[in-house]
Structure formats: structure tokens, C-alpha cells
Amino acid sequence: MAKTYKDIQRMTGLSLSTISKYFNGGSMRPENRVSIERAITKLDYRMNPFASGLKSRRSRKVGILIPELTSTHHSLITSEVCQHLREAGYDSVVCDCHLDQAIERDALLFLLDKMVDGVITIPLNQRGDHLKEAARREVPVVLVDRLASEFRTDAVIVDNVSAGGMAAEALLAHGHRRIGLITGLPDIYTMRARAQGFQSALIQSGVALDPALTREIEFTVDGGYQAAMALLTMREPPSALFCANYDLMLGMIMALNELGLRIYEDISVVGIDDLTLSRVIKPRLTMIMQPMQEIAAQASRLMMERLEGPVPGIRLVELPTELIQGASIKRV
């Protein structure tokens, strides 16, 4: 049978309220503290989270709501966030909405009914209307990667505009002028921002935008493959390519392999995200790196601060991206 405060009381002779104070960090006589601690270890006592939650109205659970867990970027962030939360004593209840906005909404309601103390999400619905229900129930929300147009709250994003800009500049600096851009559909915040940064950089360098060189497509491996195939089989193909997303990039790599095009020799490439596969592509890609561990750490931090006490205002953490020099850009 599980032990309770009563068992500790029996061993120490202290009242239940004193024992509670011990667990909830009040001040008390050192000898009592010691005696409670001794009882805890001797009894192998563990707090009953139901009883605790019933009174305190806190579940010490956080919901993680993700568009697609099998996407490497998402699974890495999820994994890191879960670990941070666990280390702080919080459960992470993960919901993958499979890129379906109806599931996203349902899963959020599910989490709220399960009394999560907070929600960390990469929102799929870019308006973020579904999140208003969380606000209504006073459950804090932290956005990751993307902002929501109709729901302002704490968020961690990277500077996507300059990420796109850096990619363009790296290629421009090597003399490229016909540069293909493979990006996601513009209803995704990150994709829009990266494409915009990329295109601004071209314009600033006096390169006219050729609409035929920009492919907006669902950001999946298959999407990247299709887009790259289309670009590379044009009558006048680009001399360089930038993919605005890791999965798109993988698809592009597959297309290059299929067409027998060699990176660097035949086509210059700027990639994104230094995840597993990028590490084994040869030659080493020049790429835009997002600080993914840091994104996860910041998101966890923002959430935990809200959970520990009231935080005034809305916080937006914008992290820088970095250009990693590889050997995938040829001078033309």
C-alpha cells in the first residue's frame, strides 16, 4: 500500500500541515526537517499527485502539440522539451496532429480537459484561433517556430528573414545569379519569412526575381523531391538551389542523386538544419543552422517560468541562425 502523510505523521509526530509545509517549501525547525526526511526515505514515501492536484489545481503536466512527430525537426524539439520538463518534474503529454487542423483543435481540447498546466506547441493553424480556448481557461501557451496571427503569447522563433538572407548572400557572393528557391507554402510562418529574406537579398543585389525559380510546395521530403526535379529539368536550370526546410532539402538531395548531378561540381546548394542526414552528405553542405537545442531550452524555460509564478507581459525570444561553411558552393 502506498504511504501517505499519515504514515509520516505517525513516525514524526508532526501535524499534516507541517508535513505539507515541508514539501511546499515553508520554513521550519531543522530537526523537524531532518525527521521528516528520515521518515520519507524509511517509508519510501511518494506524494500522491491526485490528492495534491485536487487541492492545488496543478497537474504538473504540460501538453506538447506538434504538427507531425515524424518530421525530424519536430521530433528533436519534442524530445528536448520533454527532457527539460521531466528534469523539472513535469510530465509531457505529446499529441501529434498529423498535419490536420481538426485533430489539432481536438487534441488541444483533450489536453485542456486533462488539466495540463500549460501547452507548448508548434501551431499548424497559422491564425491560432484554437489556442484561445487555452487562454480562456488560463492555461499558458508557448509557441515554437511559428507565430500565430490571431493569438499573441510567449514564443520562441529564429530570425527566419535573415536566415533566408544569409543563404542568398552566400550564393550571391560566389557569383550565382540564377538561384532556385524551394520553400513551403506561404501559409506557414517560417516558410514565408525565409522566402522573404531570401528574395529581399536577391533584389538588394540587383538580381531580378524569376518566378519560375521559386517553388512553393508542401514541405515534405516528397515535396522537395518534386520541386527539385522540376527546377533541374528546366530548359535553363538554376546554377544553385536553396531549400528553406530540412525535409525539402532531403527530397532535393534525392533528386540530385537520381539525376546524377553532383553537389558543387554540377550544382551549388545551401541547405538547412544540421540534423543526422546532413552530417553524412558529401561534400559537406554549406548550410543555415538553427540552434534547435536552444529553441527547445528557451521554450521550456518560458513555460516553466509561467508555471512557477505570474509573468507580466508577453515574451518573444528570437534566436539567431548561423551559416556553416561547407563545400557545396562553387564559384561561377
Q: Under the rule (CB under 8 A), what is the footprint of its own copies?
A: 46, 48-51, 53-54, 57, 59-61, 64, 68-70, 72, 75-76, 78-79, 82-83, 86, 91-96, 98, 107, 110, 113-115, 220-222, 225, 247, 250-251, 254-255, 257-258, 275-277, 279-282
**Cell numbers describing residue 321:** 541562425
Tell me if 18 contacts DNA by CB under 7 A.
yes
Residue 55 in the binding site for DNA (CB under 7 A): yes
Q: Does 269 bind DNA (CB under 7 A)?
A: no
Q: How many other CB atoms are found less than 10 A from the CB of residue 23? A: 14
Spatial distance between the Cα atoms of 101 and 98, rounded to a whole number of angstroms: 9
Nearer to its own copies among residue 64 and residue 170 (C-beta): 64
Residue 4 partner contact from DNA, its own copies, none using kind-dependent CB cut-offs of 5 to 8 Å:
DNA
104 binding partner (options its own copies, DNA, none; Cβ < 5 to 8 Å by kind): none
Cα-to-chain-centroid distance, residue 305: 18
Chosen residue from 37, 39, 44, 54 binding DNA by CB under 7 A:
54
Kind and range of the H or E element at 42?
helix 30-43
Q: Judging by DSSP bridges, how do beta strands 214-216 and 179-183 pair with one another?
A: parallel
Q: Which residue has the cell 538561384?
A: 179
* 207: partner contacted, choices DNA, its own copies, none (Cβ within 5-8 A by kind): none
Asked if 5 is part of the footprint of DNA (rule: CB under 7 A), the reply reads yes
Q: Give the interface segment with DNA, choosing from 17-25, 151-159, 176-184, 227-235 (CB under 7 A).
A: 17-25
Exposed / middle / buried, residue 235 (Cβ in 10 Å: 0-12, 13-18, 19+): exposed
Residue 142 is inside which H or E element, if any? strand 141-144
- The answer to whether 212 and 234 have CB atoms below 8 angstroms apart is yes
